[in-house]
Amino acid sequence: MRKLVMAAVLGVAMAGMAGAEATHKGYEMPPYSVEWSDGAREIRTYGPHLLAEVKVTGGRTGAIQAGFRMLAGYIFGGNDTGEKIAMTVPVAQTAERDFWTVSFMMPARYTAETLPAPRDDRIRFVPAGPSRQLVERFSGLPGSAGLAERANALRDWAEAQGHEVIDGPHYYFYDAPMTLPWNRRNEVAFTIR
């Protein structure tokens, strides 16, 4: 009996090392597996998933607020059928040359063809993945300067380790604004080869 219990515990521990979370606080997340982990850093392989995204100009903080409002309007019924679509995490933000892309993952049960059409023509559906990303998790209030500093340090570390950065930084935010800073999950990530 003791051997069976130990085998079960070891099996659960091994599965946890190779696997990844499917939800955060009950919200669906993009599918991924963890290739490597060291403290707050992981290399993840993301599977395909569907994003709803908008392109927003301006500073980082204003852009994520505006992008979030547009996408939240869509999932809370601002679409051609009035259907409410479940919230997912993270809210993602990536800097482009002259704008920011803000995106929500769409629940896995949907395809681009089965989602209701947005009433806001700035929202578009984009297939994502598969991709390989170097991710660093942290808590706190993610200000623009702190995010840029974390991104620069992570890029420097990635390059020193021989990882080829091909996109990013991506910023991932998992919790509602009223969440206490030490309970927040934030991430900075780079797509790597």
Report all structural domains of the chain as residue ranges with CATH numbers, in order of start.
Answer: 2-46+129-192 (no CATH), 49-128 (3.20.80.10)
Where is 36: in which H helix or E strand? strand 32-38
Question: Could you identify the residue written with the tokens 């578009």?
Answer: 124
pLDDT at 21: 80
Mean of pLDDT values over 69-76:
98
List CB contacts of 41: < 8 A, sequence separation 6 or more.
Answer: 134, 135, 136, 137, 154, 157
Mean of pLDDT values over 133-146:
95
pLDDT at 142: 85
Q: Could you tell me if 92 and 127 are in contact, meaning their C-beta atoms sit under 8 angstroms apart?
A: no
What is the pLDDT confidence band of residue 177, given thresholds at 50, 70 and 90? Answer: confident
Tokens representing 47 are 């599977």
* pLDDT, mean over the chain: 90
Q: How far apart are CA 97 and CA 29, in angstroms?
A: 27
Mean of pLDDT values over 160-184:
96
Q: How far apart are CA 87 and CA 28, in angstroms?
A: 8
